[in-house]
Amino acid sequence: MSPTPSAHLHLAVALDGTGWHPASWREPVARPRDLFTAGYWADQITEAERGLLDFVTIEDGLGPQSSRRYERDERTDQVRGRLDAVLIASRVAPLTRHIGLVPTVVATHTEPFHISKAIATLDYVSTGRAGLRVRISARPDEAAHFGRRTIRRADAPDTPDAREAISELFDEAADYVEVVRRLWDSWEDDAEIRDAATGRFIDRDKLHYIDFQGRFFSVKGPSITPRPPQGQPLVTALAHQTVPYRLVARQADIGYVTPHDADQARAIVAEIRAEQQAAGRAGEPLHVFGDLVVLLDDSEAAARARLDRLDTLAGEPYRSDTRVFTGTASQLADLLDELASGGLTGFRLRPAVTGHDLPRVTGDLVPELQRRRRFRTAYDATTLRGHLGLTRPANRYATAAA
Amino acid sequence: MSKPLKQIHLAAHFPGVNNTTVWSDPAAGSHIEFSSFAHFARTAERAKFDFLFLAEGLRLREQGGKIYDLDVVGRPDTFTVLAALAAVTDRLGLTGTINSTFNEPYEVARQFASLDHLSGGRSAWNVVTSWDAFTGENFRRGGFLPQEERYSRAKEFLATAHELFDSWHGDEILADQATGTFLRDARAGAFVHKGQHFDIQGRFNVPRSPQGRPVIFQAGDSDEGREFAAADADAIFSRYATLKEGQAFYTDVKSRLAKYGRRPEELLILPAATFVLGDTDEEAAELAREVRRQQVSGATAIKHLEFVWNRDLSAYDPEGPLPDVDPVVAEEHISRGRAQVRMYRDPVAIAREWRELAEANKWSIRDLVINTGNRQTFIGSPATVARTINEFVQADASDGFILVPHITPGGLDPFADQVVPLLQEQGVFRADYEGTTLRDHLGLAHPDAARRTGAPAERAAS
């Protein structure tokens, strides 16, 4: 189900290097040499917090960025290299107070046990502001960085074989999130008792083996980290078609989707709701956010001209999986309203140039939405779930008996 | 001329999930909340310590098939806490224990390189190994590693991680906005590793970090562990904190360095050490006895006796005599997830010895465990403790100590306030940080130092 409808939209910003346009790093505001410093990330995320945004996501991958989908590109004219997103989020957590922190994690080559405790710890470090964005890796070159499995090169991504291989990676990701979530619940909230009389630090009956056995891995549990402040930190995923919609419907609190208009948004939301019903989660709140690349300026012409300039620098027109918006904050507010009428409850904006478009989101778009009474004027919750109107979930292992 | 005074290195070990940590004390706070870690780290930095140290365990301990519930249980993720601590400290080194068995080199190398960037060059990695199927049940691979292969995997893991760190030299990022060249070289980060444990290749995606590589710690005590340290580590986290044992260990390990072409100062020996301070030595001694009784409750005494007896002793009275039954000698051990039980190689002989000790001293089970277990390393007034620490270091029992307070998070404060100033007065501990990286604090060269001082033309030509 859709979370309780609200007049307010939810807003997140997706951070990726100097921005989503491949030539973004060449803009004077871009600070490309600072990308590998804590200060750069602290500045972007505190800017997003000034705009009262719900959260930021931080992109990540287990190989160099590439302009090609399934392989390295060996290019030297774009940003290559990045820091671990979970650690960026954690490094910035003590410097912020309200904004949610949602790093990307790659399910395909990592350990659900490690990620579960890492995100739980991010939740402790940020006192309840952690989430994750789960993704798969279908790149054979990234598989070769681990050497534990072979991922065949998808020369023809639309063949049945390739589709089946991708589908399997998403099934594995669903199991992965299941393990991560069970581990978050593997300690009941009141498991730590510090009972001096009996000498027991914990009540071990309130710790639970998760005993997960799946096709891809088995994990015993319990976690080494107690249940995090939010109980269940936020799980999010980007989805473009049925297979990933199913992952969103089975396991996520937020799905990011890429409709280009309200009709597409309506169709995607309907498909996700149907999958949610099929997965037996119809009663659970699930946000569907629209993803948009944004170039914001004082006039539509200025934004358009900036995109042209960036495209010229890049040597080719920018292609995105999302709609690419160029225009003013007021025009963007109109577009968000229109898309929201298709059933979206929020948006994840991808700044084309972080140094330019992020301050425009916080400084122009947010005030515009506030004037329209479509966005908060102050944070009224202390946790990320709170910002999104999600309650703290009950522990799946807790028994009713006291 | 007398030998110049050695400078002491000091580090702070966040209290661990064992009975050294007294959770029942009214002053004891959370072991999970970030505020505890921040308090502890700020104290260490205020005292100009070299680094903070985090241990790790990847499965909750069990005894007799049940989760062990008498000690502190649970801890946060090592990397994530260290990255957050980098935000609340400026100079303090950040050392994390990370297992080489249940991780992969690409991911661990990216995490340490990221931590090193995010902390401005303060990261260190305590490389540990395990093989047990018990811990493996939490991971994709399960318990796959024969015990004899754990060091060969650890060595290859570390060598592979170094290849990944070194796959960027530090001069690849041009980020020239005018010409549009971001990378000088499309092959930045290229690596190929083919070995017994890892067969990987591709591009490492984190550029060279401030320290080049994290500082490497090793903690194993076996002959293999010592050799591993002599070949590859920058520091050893050792368990020999008494004068004689410390000197023997120090001599042994430092003598192994020459065959790897290394000088003695390139490997620091830093034993774990506990302490109890009092206004006077007598008061400290009395306090130390109280702390030992807090650390070893009756229930804990029985559980510790089970480490040796390897059987359920719950029917025994901790205030009564030792069991007259003999230990069970078996492959399966009653305690799981605990390294220390492997120390009892001949349990029947130990049991005999302990019975004799208990009888001679009229000790109950609890008395015996209190008296045979680890007593605190340094007990006394601040002046006594400062003097003893300095004597140990100057006598080459160590190069310093990794202090393990028994109270979280405030247990380090009295040491910082009362002992450190005395060491500073004696001129054997820094009054302030001189450098910004952990390598600076430890007096270790940057891995590129040789290349940097070498002929630059050679580099440009290559």
Q: Which chain B residues touch A94 with a CB distance below 8 Å?
A: 34, 38, 84, 87-88
B23 to A194: CB separation less than 8 angstroms, yes or no = yes
Per-residue CA distances from B145 to A42, A110, A214, B51 (Å) = 41, 19, 22, 32
Which residues does A79 contact at the CB level (< 8 Å), separation at least 6?
Answer: A17, A18, A22, A25, A32, A35, A65, B182
- Find, among A298, A347, A301, A293, the residue nearest to A318 by Cα: A293
Kindly state the tokens that stand for B284. 């400290």
B180 to A221: CB separation less than 8 angstroms, yes or no = no
Instruction: Evaluate whether B289 touches B371 at the Cβ level (below 8 Å).
Output: no
A81 to B205: CB separation less than 8 angstroms, yes or no = yes
- The angle formed by the CA atoms of residues B310, B315 and B317, to the nearest 5 degrees, is 105
pTM: 0.96
Phi first, then psi, for residue B181 (nearest 5°) are -95, 115
Per-residue CA distances from A151 to A13, A46, A143, B103, B379 (Å) = 31, 39, 6, 20, 59
For residue B19, the distance in angstroms to the closest alpha carbon of chain A comes to 11
Kindly state the tokens that stand for B288. 């130390």
For residue B383, the distance in angstroms to the closest alpha carbon of chain A comes to 34
Interface probe for A, chosen from B118, B187, B192, B369 (most Cβ of A below 10 Å), is B118
Of A125, A203, A313, the CB nearest to B180: A313
A263-313 pLDDT, tens per residue?
999 999 999 999 999 999 998 999 999 999 999 999 999 999 999 999 999
Instruction: Kindly state whether residue A299 falls inside one of the protein's structural domains.
Output: yes
Per-residue pLDDT at B459: 36
Per-residue pLDDT at A156: 67
Q: Which chain A residues touch B80 with a CB distance below 8 Å?
A: 86-87, 90, 117-118, 121-122, 125
Question: Do the strands A287-296 and A254-257 form a parallel or antiparallel pair, or are they unpaired?
Answer: parallel
B182 to A28: CB separation less than 8 angstroms, yes or no = no
Instruction: Kindly state whether residue A167 falls inside one of the protein's structural domains.
Output: no
B102 to A63: CB separation less than 8 angstroms, yes or no = no
- Find, among B318, B279, B246, B56, the residue nearest to A224 by Cα: B56
B206 to A83: CB separation less than 8 angstroms, yes or no = yes
SS3 B312: coil
Q: In angstroms, rounded to a whole number, what is the distance separating the alpha carbons of residues B345 and A46?
A: 56
Q: In angstroms, rounded to a whole number, what is the distance separating the alpha carbons of residues B407 and B405?
A: 6
Beta bridge partners of A134: A105
Q: What number is the ipTM of this complex?
A: 0.97
Kindly state the tokens that stand for A400. 């009713």
Instruction: Evaluate whether B31 touches B22 at the Cβ level (below 8 Å).
Output: no
B199-251 pLDDT, tens per residue?
999 999 999 999 999 999 998 788 888 999 999 999 999 988 899 999 999 99
> What's the total number of domains in chain A?
1
A25 to B182: CB separation less than 8 angstroms, yes or no = yes
E strand spans, B123-221:
123-128, 173-176, 181-183, 190-194, 199-203, 215-218
Kindly state the tokens that stand for A398. 């807790």
Q: What strands, in cross-sheet order, belong to the sheet with B66-67?
A: B66-67, B62-63, B335-336
Identify the CATH number of the domain in which residue A136 sits. 3.20.20.30
Instruction: Kindly state whether residue A182 falls inside one of the protein's structural domains.
Output: no
Interface probe for A, chosen from B21, B24, B77 (most Cβ of A below 10 Å), is B77
Instruction: Evaluate whether B91 touches A131 at the Cβ level (below 8 Å).
Output: no
- Find, among A76, A101, A86, A47, the residue nearest to A354 by Cα: A47
Q: In angstroms, rounded to a whole number, what is the distance separating the alpha carbons of residues B197 and B157?
A: 8
Instruction: Evaluate whether A147 touches A249 at the Cβ level (below 8 Å).
Output: no
Instruction: Kindly state whether residue A144 falls inside one of the protein's structural domains.
Output: yes
For residue B226, the distance in angstroms to the closest alpha carbon of chain A comes to 28
Q: Which residues of A257-296 are buried (b: 16+ CB within 10 A; e: fewer)?
A: bbbeebebbbebbebbbebbeebebeeebbbbbbbbbbbb
Interface probe for B, chosen from A44, A58, A87 (most Cβ of B below 10 Å), is A87
- Find, among B121, B177, B205, the residue nearest to B438 by Cα: B121
For residue B461, the distance in angstroms to the closest alpha carbon of chain A comes to 20
Per-residue pLDDT at A399: 78
B177 to A26: CB separation less than 8 angstroms, yes or no = yes
Per-residue pLDDT at B332: 85
Q: Which chain B residues touch A203 with a CB distance below 8 Å?
A: 69
- Domain of residue A62, residue span: 10-148+230-387
A219 to B137: CB separation less than 8 angstroms, yes or no = yes
For residue A342, the distance in angstroms to the closest alpha carbon of chain B comes to 38
Q: How high is the mean pLDDT in each 10-residue block of chain B (462 residues)?
A: 86 93 95 98 98 96 96 97 98 97 96 98 94 90 76 93 97 96 96 97 98 94 90 94 94 96 96 97 97 95 94 96 92 83 81 95 96 92 98 97 97 98 98 98 88 43 33
Helical H segments across B233-272, by residue range: 243-255
For residue B243, the distance in angstroms to the closest alpha carbon of chain A comes to 34
Helical H segments across A283-328, by residue range: 300-314
A225 to B76: CB separation less than 8 angstroms, yes or no = yes
Write down the CATH number for the domain with range B9-168+206-279+377-453.
Answer: 3.20.20.30
For residue B160, the distance in angstroms to the closest alpha carbon of chain A comes to 11
3-state helix, strand, coil in chain B (%, to 5): 40, 15, 45
B106 to A38: CB separation less than 8 angstroms, yes or no = no
Q: In tens digits, what is the pLDDT along chain A, a chain of 402 residues?
A: 677 656 899 999 999 999 999 999 999 999 999 999 999 999 999 999 999 999 999 999 999 999 998 899 999 999 999 999 999 999 999 999 999 999 999 999 999 999 999 999 999 999 999 999 999 999 999 999 999 888 877 666 678 888 888 999 999 999 999 999 999 999 999 999 999 999 999 999 999 999 999 999 999 999 999 999 999 999 999 999 988 999 999 999 999 999 999 999 999 999 999 999 999 999 899 999 999 999 999 999 999 999 999 999 999 999 999 999 999 999 999 999 999 999 999 999 999 999 999 999 999 999 999 999 999 999 999 999 999 999 999 999 997 544
Instruction: Kindly state whether residue A5 falls inside one of the protein's structural domains.
Output: no
Question: Do the strands B400-403 and B268-273 form a parallel or antiparallel pair, or are they unpaired?
Answer: parallel
What residues does CATH 3.20.20.30 cover in chain B? 9-168+206-279+377-453
Q: Which chain A residues touch B57 with a CB distance below 8 Å?
A: 224
Per-residue pLDDT at A401: 46
Q: Which chain B residues touch A196 with a CB distance below 8 Å?
A: 24
Instruction: Kindly state whether residue A165 falls inside one of the protein's structural domains.
Output: no
